[in-house]
Amino acid sequence: MRTFSSPGWLQACSAALLRGTLQALLKPVFSPRFSIPFQRRWLRGLAHSTLPARGVRREAAQLGGRPGEWLRARSAAPDAPIAPGAVLYLHGGAYCVGAPATHRALTGRLALATGLPVFALDYRLAPEHPFPAGLDDALAAYRALRAQGPVVLAGDSAGGGLALACALALREAGDAAPAALYLISPWADMRAEAAPARPVPGEAMLSQAWVLDCAAKYLGKTAPEHPWCSPLLADLRGLPPTLIQAGTDEMLHGQALALEAALRAAGVAVRCEVDQARWHVFQLHGGALASADAALARAAAFIAPQMAAARAPVQATHEVVIMGAGMSGLCMAIQLKRAGMHDFVLLEKQTGLGGTWWDNRYPGAHVDVPAPAYAFSFAANPRWTRRFASAPEIHRYMQDLALRHGLLPHLRLGTAVQEAGFDAASGQWALRTDRGDHYRARHFVCSTGPLNQPRWPDIPGLAEFQGERLHSARWDATVPLQGRRVAVIGTGSTASQLVAPIAAQAGQLHVFQRTANWVLPRLDRRYFGIDRLLARLPPYSAAVRWAWVQALEWGRRGFDEGTLARRGMLATAAAHRQRQVADPALRARLTPSYPLGCKRIIYSNDYYPALGRPNTELVTEAIARISARGIVTADGRERPLDVLVCATGFDTQQLLASLQIRGQQGQLLGEVWRASPEAYLGCTVAGFPNLYLMLGPNTATGHTSTLLYIEPQVQHALACMRELRQRGQQWIAVRPEAQRAYNEGLQARLRGSVWTQCHSWYQGADGRVAAIFPGFTAEYQRRVRRPDFSAYQFG
């Protein structure tokens, strides 16, 4: 079981108001004193007061001979692709009340959150139609929908119990199982003794008298122990992955916990999420209650990988295929839609969108530039809670972008591109995925960026280590650290963020440092209500973003010898080290021996203090090998370990090495880049028409936000696509001589620069700097945003 709380006075006020409204207007009517027809009319009237989900298209329909309604995320284009698969939703109401119309606030947001079409079934209700009428309707609708693709069965309260019963009946009949079950406060045990003996404090809807009255109407002559009426009592083996959500302040809280335990005992992959101080089916208050929106977002994150695993391989043709759903992939997709180009698909190898911010979920992960500069110019984020945003906050921002701009129907999660080849005859790219999908597209956008392939340290014995091994980019939060012996290899930007949280838990922490890093204070602070209120004003948010961008550009001057900025940064770093490291010997080992800026600068307020803790050891002796039990240094000493953490970054030289990309003449991009990767403006590669790189070679920065480089690259790609369409030709490719001249100019500027004066991920094995752009951001933006088509050839 996982518990969630909703801190903040505004959340508490909203929750109190909503709870009080339900207790005053709904709970008294949900009573045997009132007729079922009256309860239905009353509920339908109250449903009009809920906030409908914007951006959802509703359509009345029939499925399996029963009426209902489709809810789909709106798209600006009527022929926009819809993600394969669907959700069959069974509403709650104790089998006697409720309808698709009463649950639109929930089902509409579920359609938006998942990107899947949702069919809300209007199944027959008691007392007119007792058991098994509702189950028969659910089975008929499921079978009709399953014939079209994988289906997630979802439902709340009685609908949750009905969804579970439906899954059991399908198993008994030998039918194809649902891809997953999503059960909100499921009523899984209809026996009278299953109801709490005393009223639950805070319960906003249900009463024991009403529940038992409705149970009698639904059951008729059927015993409540029937496994399709009380599925908690059934044999639950063989059911699909299941997510249960409930609140602490409801009658069915105990049933949710009991169902989780029963499913786990039956070998079912199950997770139960319980929100503190929340009532029965609080998810109905999406849009008014942040915890409701958060619960639906978690449900979408659960559903996505299950649906990806269940869907069959596809063959499809689109105008654009985007590989990678990180920041650059989302930006590309958003700008395509804004340009009126809706025929595209986003292929993401992970089971969730986010790219770097999906991969990097280690303790303490956060962005190392101020958050206002880490939002797109067209999508300010007024929800930042700190100046330096955490990884979860950034991930939420990305999810909001995808939701707001209607990207989820275009998204294919759990889908890794393995091969891509350009067909000169058709002027299209042909792509094959690890799932057996085959896509064809006029344009292929590689938005994976340089930080997507984890690099493990090249140390003898790494594979023989018998403890638990973690990489910062593939963090496993289930590995316990409390009181254990932990080692961290690496002291770069990532390590500087995770060392302090690990040191606070570990019994003993060893940090292995090859070279010391330049560390400057992080000018962090909490954002208060007034900050977030002002951030909702576009002129204010734009001004704050501009100011931080200028401040970061001033920091770029610190990489040049003799500048005021450099003198100021050197003095600040020395003062920060002097202030935070009391031990002179430790301070000496933490003093860098290379010029400031040669490696990425660390901004941290807790890294130095963590290294000074009694349970932390900074090890500067070289690592000789890794043994089965720990790490052996060059002096022969072995440090026993339980957990080995590798904060050793990414392979930034072998870009796109995990797949085969063949160009116009059949040449492999990996072979072309064998010596060192290079591209024209970091965006296009000679011999690879209609291919666009996001954050390609020589577009990294050591001083500012990558988003400032992503936006002009997206505009460059869009301009190339438009020009190709206007000329009526099949392909566009950069001229080899233009690419060669551009990179010769870059390397001339980089020779003798600060980035060549030490070894870092900016360089290749031959010392060539293939990652960094040597100039200022404005220079890059001016040159990239509007292509010089004389540098391109068409065919």
pLDDT in tens, 757-793: 888 878 877 788 999 999 999 999 999 999 999 999 9
1 pLDDT exceeds 80? no
Distance, in Å, from the CA atom of 493 to the CA atom of 761, rounded to the nearest integer, reads 12
Query: What residues contact 37, with CB distance under 8 A and at least 6 apart?
Result: none
Distance, in Å, from the CA atom of 194 to the CA atom of 611, rounded to the nearest integer, reads 54
Q: How far lies 140's CA from each of 62, 119, 212, 267, 618, in Å? A: 11, 13, 28, 27, 65
Within a domain: residue 164? yes
**Are 478 and 386 found together in one domain?**
no
**Are 388 and 499 found together in one domain?**
no
The helix (run of H) or strand (run of E) holding residue 319 is: strand 315-323
Can you give the pLDDT at residue 202?
A: 86
- Domain end position, chosen among 646, 674, 693: 646
Distance, in Å, from the CA atom of 175 to the CA atom of 190, rounded to the nearest integer, reads 26
Mean pLDDT of 619-631: 95
- Give residue for tokens 């870009």: 655
Dihedral of alpha carbons 595, 597, 600, 606, sign:
positive
Ranked by mean pLDDT, the top range of 296-305, 361-370, 647-656 is: 361-370
Can you give the pLDDT at residue 265?
A: 97
Within a domain: residue 150? yes
Mean pLDDT of 155-173: 97
H-type helices in 581-677, by residue range? 584-589, 607-611, 669-672
User: Is residue 496 annotated as a catalytic residue, yes or no?
Assistant: no
406 pLDDT exceeds 70? yes
Can you give the pLDDT at residue 100?
A: 97
Range of the domain at 510: 462-646
Within a domain: residue 652? no
Q: Are strands 468-471 and 643-646 parallel, antiparallel or unpaired?
A: parallel
**Are 358 and 476 found together in one domain?**
no
Can you give the pLDDT at residue 727?
A: 97
> Which neighbouring-strand residues pair with 118?
71, 87
**Are 66 and 213 found together in one domain?**
yes
Query: What residues contact 265, with CB distance under 8 A and at least 6 apart?
Result: none
Q: Please, which pLDDT band fits residue 654 given cuts at 50, 70 and 90?
A: low
Within a domain: residue 52? yes
Q: How far lies 733's CA from each of 297, 544, 672, 697, 699, in Å? A: 40, 38, 15, 17, 19
Q: Please, which pLDDT band fits residue 9 given cuts at 50, 70 and 90?
A: low
605 pLDDT exceeds 50? yes
**Are 374 and 284 found together in one domain?**
no
Q: Cβ of 551: how many Cβ atoms within 10 Å?
A: 14
**Are 112 and 248 found together in one domain?**
yes
- Write the DSSP symbol of residue 169: H
For the chain, how many structural domains are there in total? Answer: 3
> CB of 208 within 8 A of CB of 196?
yes
Q: Which tokens hold the place of 93?
A: 């109401």
The predicted-structure confidence for 232-284, as pLDDT tens digits, reads as follows 999 999 999 999 999 999 999 999 999 999 999 999 999 999 999 999 999 99
Within a domain: residue 755? no
Within a domain: residue 746? no
Q: Could you say which of 6, 14, 75, 157 is catalytic? A: 157
Can you give the pLDDT at residue 790?
A: 97
Can you give the pLDDT at residue 290?
A: 87
Within a domain: residue 742? no
Q: Cβ of 442: how many Cβ atoms within 10 Å?
A: 21
Task: Kindly tell me the burial class for residue 148, based on how many C-beta atoms sit within 10 Å of its own C-beta (0-12, 13-18, 19 or more).
Answer: exposed
> CB of 704 within 8 A of CB of 552?
yes
Q: What mean pLDDT is reported for the chain? A: 92
> CB of 103 within 8 A of CB of 133?
no
756 pLDDT exceeds 50? yes
Mean pLDDT of 364-368: 94
701 pLDDT exceeds 70? yes
- Domain end position, chosen among 261, 290, 310: 310
The predicted-structure confidence for 52-90, as pLDDT tens digits, reads as follows 888 899 999 999 999 999 999 875 444 444 457 899 999
- Domain end position, chosen among 258, 290, 310: 310
**Are 323 and 210 found together in one domain?**
no
Residue 442 sits at the vertex; the CA angle it makes with 379 and 346, to the nearest 5 degrees, is 40
Q: What is the CATH number of the domain that holds 113?
A: 3.40.50.1820
**Are 638 and 688 found together in one domain?**
no
**Are 499 and 425 found together in one domain?**
no
Distance, in Å, from the CA atom of 438 to the CA atom of 321, rounded to the nearest integer, reads 11
653 pLDDT exceeds 90? no
- Write the DSSP symbol of residue 265: H
Mean pLDDT of 617-630: 95
Distance, in Å, from the CA atom of 190 to the CA atom of 404, rounded to the nearest integer, reads 40
> Which neighbouring-strand residues pair with 4?
275
**Are 167 and 240 found together in one domain?**
yes
Within a domain: residue 748? no
Can you give the pLDDT at residue 78?
A: 45
**Are 530 and 472 found together in one domain?**
yes
Q: What is the CATH number of the domain that holds 367?
A: 3.50.50.60
- Own/partner pairs, 4-8, CB within 8 angstroms, 24+ separation: 4/273, 4/274, 4/275, 4/276, 4/291, 4/294, 4/295, 5/275, 5/276, 5/277, 6/275, 6/276, 6/277, 6/278, 6/290, 6/291, 6/294
Can you give the pLDDT at residue 180?
A: 97
Q: What is the pTM of this model?
A: 0.87
Can you give the pLDDT at residue 657?
A: 65
Can you give the pLDDT at residue 651?
A: 62
Q: How far lies 507's CA from each of 468, 576, 611, 618, in Å? A: 15, 27, 14, 15
**Are 199 and 327 found together in one domain?**
no
